[in-house]
A and B are shown apart, each in its own frame.
Chain A
Amino acid sequence: MEESKQDNAVRIGVYVCQCGSNIAGVVDCDAVAAYAGKLPDVTICRNQGYTCSEPGQNQIKNDIKEFGLNRVVVASCSPRLHEATFRQCVSEAGLNPYLMEMANIREQCSWVHSHDAKNATIKARDLVRSAVSRVRLLAAQTEMDVPVAPSTLVIGGGVAGIQAALDLADSGYKVILVEKQPSIGGIMARLDKTFPTMDCSI
């Protein structure tokens, strides 16, 4: 925090992942990395074999420390796959996890435009540019911790409500069981025998 107060400059690291040949087989990763390196505020740009691998992640962590990076862009696969991975990665290097952004150049480029390498590369470049322009404006976010009261309201005193209340109460939680009728039991209490074992309901 002390350091960021002294120096508010944005320093972005961009990591272009080849994903073996998954991305590099179609997209010209060198060209994308070279392009990204020239974008404003980008301090360092690397073209990696597998960014999600341990060496790949260590490179990011080292760069954060060595170059004082305060934003990271990973151009690889879908954030739905690896956003959690890279958030954790940057936070291990002391960066707020919400200062990391991904550009999806696999699912949205190499895998769907494999017949058109030139345009796939142009698109990858554009997606990296979009991610860089977004990451520049991102702010640190904190996940809030809230206390949880160890008690449950169970609405309805039929067989389901009774079972839930008992399970919770036996486990040591306080339960408020609310029933609108004068007795619990619900529909179940009206039945004589129950299928498939023909035993009584109450």
Chain B
Amino acid sequence: MTDAGRHPNITLLTMSEVKEITGFVGNFHVRILKRARYVKEKECTACGDCVEVCPVIIPDEFNMGLSSRRAIYSPFPQAVPGAFAVDITRCLGHNPIICGKCIEKCKKHCIDFDMNDEEMEFDVGTIIVATGMEAYDPTILDEYGYTRYENVLTSMELERLINAGGPTGGKVIRLTDSKVPKSVAFIQCVGSRSQRRGRPYCSNICCMNTVKSTIMLKEHYPDMEVKVFYIDIRAFGKGFEDLFRRSKGMGVRYIRGLPGDIKQDPRKQDLVLTVENTATNELESHHTEMVVLAVGLEPPSDMKAIQEMLALQTTSDGFYMEAHPKLQPVDSATRGIFFAGCAEGPKDIKDSVTQASAATARAMRLMNPGSLTVEAITAAVDPELCNSCGLCAKVCPYNAINVDTKAKTAAAVTGAACSGCGTCAAECPTMAITMNHFTDAQIEAQIDAVLEGNTAERIPVFACNWCSYAGADFAGVSRLHYPPNTRLIRTMCSGRVHEKFIWRAFAKGAPVVLVSGCHIGDCHYMHANQWTERRIKRIWKKMEKMGLRTERLSLEWISAAEGLRFQAVMEKMEKIRKSVTPKEIAETLRLVKGQKARSKGKASAAAKDG
């Protein structure tokens, strides 16, 4: 910690928040708000004279409210930077100065109530998101009585009590009578591994944290009776099983089963736990003087701001989503942004440090050469055709398009930020966007080419490069047979498939059309395929109105590993294809041409109105 505070290459900004991030890999521009500390950071020696005279006494959040602090304070003795800070929301008043006792007391004149919040700007090449986690708040789990019984604590509260630097100097006491409890019971998985309340995932650290705490309790108080109620103990890491064994060897009892509820003895404030011991299948009652809830970890409640600024995705557990769970575990889907620590998911200190070093290596890999080559397959806007509606900016997963809808300036693509999914080009209502290397003309030429000849038997398939085209490759490698009348047209993303491509295929006499992409949530371009889904649903509605059978346009999600699914989908398409009669195709041609004429009519009418 102190190394980070004094390193010449590190600018340490505490009490600070990132307000805005613009730009792209290699060239991010960052705006940071540094809140006023009201104490000169470089001059304060942390003598503590000011604290003695401050009249404001409030709960100390660093000690989980188990002690108090003043409005001018240092969060803990080893804090970096060591300078004190004024909690201006609690201070009696700095403008005008109401009390000012601390100013009078400070001999070095470090306290300055004229300090202002500062806005700072930096240019950086890469970003590491290490926003961490929060401990689960067990208030809602009423059966454990966390809010009703004072002797029910969370694991974080115990951590402060047992800490030599904590409010009791390391003495574990009950909050009701300040006595060292003769017995302590730990309850595992509080807020974790529950589909009903709390979080469905395993929080990773709670088992070992409890094992550690039991050993510390037994070392401090050998006669203390310590019990752990658990579902299963996950001691999977290096040295973990040894520690678990050590805990059992010290006499800690591990009982398989989570208590259904906790009752308090109103006289002595002792606690009674009712639990089904699943090892013996018996209902047991356990008497204890203190209960510790081993709370799980959650994504921090304030991560939304950073998530939106950087266009990051989260997995179903609420933590940030990595670019690939196995092969790019510290990269985000946005180039140049990496994850370290619990921001990506619950992990212990060792894993956090490992991941931080991995993220560093990935960041240095980008920065070391001094320059980098960016995607050539990018979108370009024709400012003449753009009407500044802003739809392209809305659908872009990478915030790569800037458009001022109020000032009516034309949209502009930041080439280095664009990843080339082509969703913008597919959504643009004025056809102002060209998707390089996958232009409308190029794709339409392929549509025409694959439908040439025996059109009524053809099945045109739009396949995204990353999943469904790869799924077809996997079907190939696996030698899976499927109908030979399928014709694939590759796009980078299903989001590229413009509505007009589908109508063009039907207008050419295609019996059926398939659009395929990555499963929702797995899209290589973050959420681009959700726009595909919306678009196809829109087209289905139109088809319904026109009297066309909607199943002739299919939308299927096929992953790179789903060769079998690709085969099944092709067989399904052939079945639908066979059900389409020449008469139905002729009727479709008539309807689609009619629709075209109508929309042209509308467009020219609109142009006249405009």
Contacts and interface: CB of A to CB of B under 8 A. Distances in A.
Interface string B509-553: 000000000000000000000000000000000000000000000
Q: Which of A148, A166, A170, A182 has the largest count of B CB atoms less than 10 A from its CB? A: A182
Given A159-B352, A176-B122, A182 B14 contact: yes
A145 B376 contact: no
Nearest to A129: B449
Residue in A127, A136, A155 whose Cβ sees the most chain B Cβ within 10 Å: A155
Contacts of A79: 490
Given A149-B124, A194-B349, A160 B342 contact: yes
Contact of A187 (B76, B133, B415): B133
A160 B352 contact: yes
Contact of B13 (A148, A150, A178): A178
Main secondary structure of the interface of B (DSSP, over half): mixed
A58 interface: no
Contact of A155 (B62, B78, B306, B349): B306
Interface stretch (A1-9, A47-55, A115-123): A115-123
Interface stretch (A10-18, A63-71, A102-110): A102-110
A80 B487 contact: no
B449 A180 contact: no
Given A152-B363, A196-B237, A182 B79 contact: yes
Contacts of B237: 196
B446 A146 contact: no
Interface string B335-376: 000001111000011001101110111011011011111111
Given A141-B377, A190-B62, A202-B78, A146 B352 contact: no
B476 A155 contact: no
A183 B442 contact: no
Interface centre among B15, B125, B465 (most CB of A within 10 A): B125
Contact of B215 (A150, A188, A198): A198
Given A176-B124, A179-B13, A185-B79, A196 B131 contact: no
A183 B14 contact: yes
Interface string A114-143: 111001101100110110111011110111
Interface in A149-202: 149-198, 201-202
Nearest to A115: B481
A199 B415 CA distance: 49
Contacts of A134: 442-443, 445-446, 449
Contacts of A188: 349
A201 B190 CA distance: 24
Given A141-B376, A192-B159, A196-B208, A152 B445 contact: no
A113 interface: yes
Contacts of A133: 445-446, 448-449
Interface string B163-174: 111100010000
Contacts of B415: 144
Nearest to B164: A192
A37 to B, nearest CB: 16
Nearest to B336: A148
A195 B11 contact: no
A170 B443 CA distance: 50
B32 interface: yes
Contact of A127 (B8, B126, B487): B487
A141 B373 CA distance: 13
B37 A182 contact: yes
A186 B437 CA distance: 47
Given A153-B122, A182-B79, A138 B356 contact: no
A195 B236 CA distance: 12
Contacts of A120: 484
A129 B452 contact: yes
A161 B4 CA distance: 10
A139 B490 contact: no
Given A116-B484, A151-B122, A160-B353, A177 B163 contact: no
Interface in B424-482: 436-437, 439, 441-443, 445-446, 448-450, 452-453, 465, 469-470, 472-473, 475-477, 479-482
B239 interface: yes
Contacts of B484: 109, 112-113, 116, 119-120, 122-123
A128 B465 CA distance: 18
* A contact face: mostly helix, strand, loop, or mixed: mixed
B26 A147 contact: yes
A155 B437 CA distance: 37
Contacts of B24: 146
Contacts of B131: 155-156
Interface string B98-140: 0000000000000000000000001111111111110100000
Contacts of B485: 119, 123
Interface string B137-176: 0000000000000000000100110111110001000000
Contacts of A198: 212, 215-216, 243
Given A123-B487, A177-B13, A147 B341 contact: no
Interface in B10-27: 10-18, 21, 24-27
Nearest to B76: A189
Contact of B373 (A144, A151, A156, A174): A144
B17 A161 contact: no
B534 to A, nearest CB: 27
B4 A104 contact: no
Interface in B193-233: 208-209, 211-212, 215-216
B353 A197 contact: no
Contacts of A98: 376, 437
Contacts of A165: 4, 7, 10
Nearest to B17: A180
A120 B212 CA distance: 65
A59 interface: no
B449 A126 contact: yes
A176 B15 CA distance: 13
B32 A114 contact: no
B253 to A, nearest CB: 19
A111 B382 CA distance: 43
Nearest to A132: B449
B4 A184 contact: yes
Q: Which of A141, A157, A176 has the most CB of B within 10 A?
A: A176
13 contacts: A112-B484, A115-B481, A127-B488, A148-B27, A151-B124, A154-B127, A157-B12, A159-B356, A162-B4, A168-B9, A169-B7, A176-B124, A202-B78
State the 5 A-B residue pairs at the shortest beta-carbon distance, nearest first.
Answer: A160-B341, A107-B476, A148-B26, A183-B79, A161-B130
